[in-house]
Amino acid sequence: MANSYLLFAAAAFAVPGWVVSVLLGVVMFGMGLATRLEDFKIVFSRPKDVAVGCLAQFTIMPALAWALARLFELDEALTVGVVLVGCCPGGTASNVMTYLAKGDLALSVGMTGVSTLLAPLLTPLLTLLLAGKTVNVNAVGMFVGILWVVVLPIALGLVAKRLFPQATERAVRFMPTVSSVVIAVIIAIVVSANAKRLLAGGFAVVLVVMLHNLCGLVLGYLLAAALRLPEPKRRALCIEVGMQNSGLAASLASVHFAAYPMAAVPGAIFSMWHNVSGAFVARMFVARDGASNAPASGSGVDRC
């Protein structure tokens, strides 16, 4: 274990920031392989649902990020890192959690796809708006970076699926595992590079990241409930709003905020934590379904 930690620590200092972007591109390429054009039909058949979800995604999470960073008085590097997480689109992990929660999977997939397509424009602009007063934000550079790291790999995945359908079908079976390993490597590189700083004063940022995610989950559900959406849609919005493409946040921080090494840490922590919280929320929803479907006490069942 110690040898593995030293290996990742050495890698963290040996590789340039763009390597993290390349690794994320591999994940996005896998997303493109797994994406079907049919997934975007929901945009035309249920535009209101998708619009509400994406609006919530790009308002609730950025606002929460900025508010929590101010409340806990995080320094410039951590503030921009938390804001980056909040301004990123939804991630593919949210689709898995929505499926496990028996939520509206089509809505979740549609929201992920649309928010990802909006990210090149909205992520840099929102980051500039919320963090531009304290750090230098190169919005144009981020726009180009997201196109290269997210949009282009997804497009290549779609093209590969079209040109090589049989090979793609076989590859898709392994992509979830490959993506998980790659994300784990990204997390290890980022955390190892900042281990000493994180141990010295990392409790606050861990708490902020956890609150950011949990508040996003709760507010996403409450918004859907206030709009009187059906329960499956509530679950989809809850999970889609609360879970971010935090790997993208870590990548953007590594490349565009290299002067602030700790800026990549919130994205790495979020990547670990939101899978735990997402799985817990999914299980909670399913358990609630089981409880509601259970026979009432005394309803036709004799008690000893």
Between CA 242 and CA 125 the distance in angstroms is 20
Q: What are 92-129's pLDDT values in tens digits?
A: 889 989 999 999 999 999 999 999 999 999 999 999 99
| Residue 278: strand, helix, or coil | helix
Q: Is the pLDDT score of 49 beyond 70? A: yes
SS3 content of the chain, % helix, strand, coil (to 5): 80, 0, 15
Is there a contact between 127 and 84 (Cβ–Cβ < 8 Å)?
yes
Between CA 128 and CA 130 the distance in angstroms is 6
Give the pLDDT of residue 30.
87
Alpha carbon separation from 3 to 7, 10, 73, 85 (Å, rounded): 6, 10, 35, 30
Pick the CATH number of 17-286 from 1.10.10.60, 3.40.50.300, 3.40.50.10320, 1.20.1530.20: 1.20.1530.20
**Most confident segment among 90-94, 157-161, 221-225, 285-289:** 221-225
Q: What are 50-75's pLDDT values in tens digits?
A: 999 999 999 999 999 999 999 999 99
Would the CA dihedral through 84, 88, 94, 98 be positive or negative? positive
The stretch 126-149 carries a mean pLDDT of 92
Q: What are 87-100's pLDDT values in tens digits?
A: 999 988 899 899 99
Give the pLDDT of residue 207.
94
Query: Taking the complete model, does pTM exceed 0.75, yes or no?
Result: yes
Give the pLDDT of residue 174.
84
b/e 103-123 (16+ beta carbons within 10 angstroms → b): bbbbbbbbbbbbbbbebbebb
Average pLDDT of the chain, as a whole number: 86
User: Tokens 């994180």 sit at which residue?
Assistant: 198
The stretch 160-170 carries a mean pLDDT of 88
Structure tokens belonging to residue 147: 């196109």
Least confident of 10-19, 44-53, 153-162, 241-250: 10-19
> What's the length of the chain?
304
Confidence of residue 82 (pLDDT cuts 50, 70, 90): very high
DSSP 294: S
Between CA 18 and CA 15 the distance in angstroms is 8
Q: Is the pLDDT score of 300 beyond 70? A: no
DSSP 88: S
Of 63, 58, 68, the residue nearest 240 (C-alpha): 58
Least confident of 137-141, 198-202, 203-207: 198-202
- 1 versus 129: the higher-pLDDT residue is 129
Is there a contact between 143 and 252 (Cβ–Cβ < 8 Å)?
no
Is there a contact between 274 and 213 (Cβ–Cβ < 8 Å)?
yes
The stretch 259-269 carries a mean pLDDT of 88
Q: Is the pLDDT score of 159 beyond 80? A: yes
Between CA 208 and CA 266 the distance in angstroms is 9
Q: Is the pLDDT score of 205 beyond 70? A: yes
User: Tokens 């379904």 sit at which residue?
Assistant: 289
Give the pLDDT of residue 294.
62
- 14 versus 63: the higher-pLDDT residue is 63
Confidence of residue 12 (pLDDT cuts 50, 70, 90): very low
Least confident of 36-45, 202-211, 278-287: 36-45
Least confident of 21-25, 45-49, 101-105: 21-25
Using a 10 angstrom Cβ sphere, with 0-12 exposed, 13-18 middle and 19 or more buried, the burial of residue 77 is buried
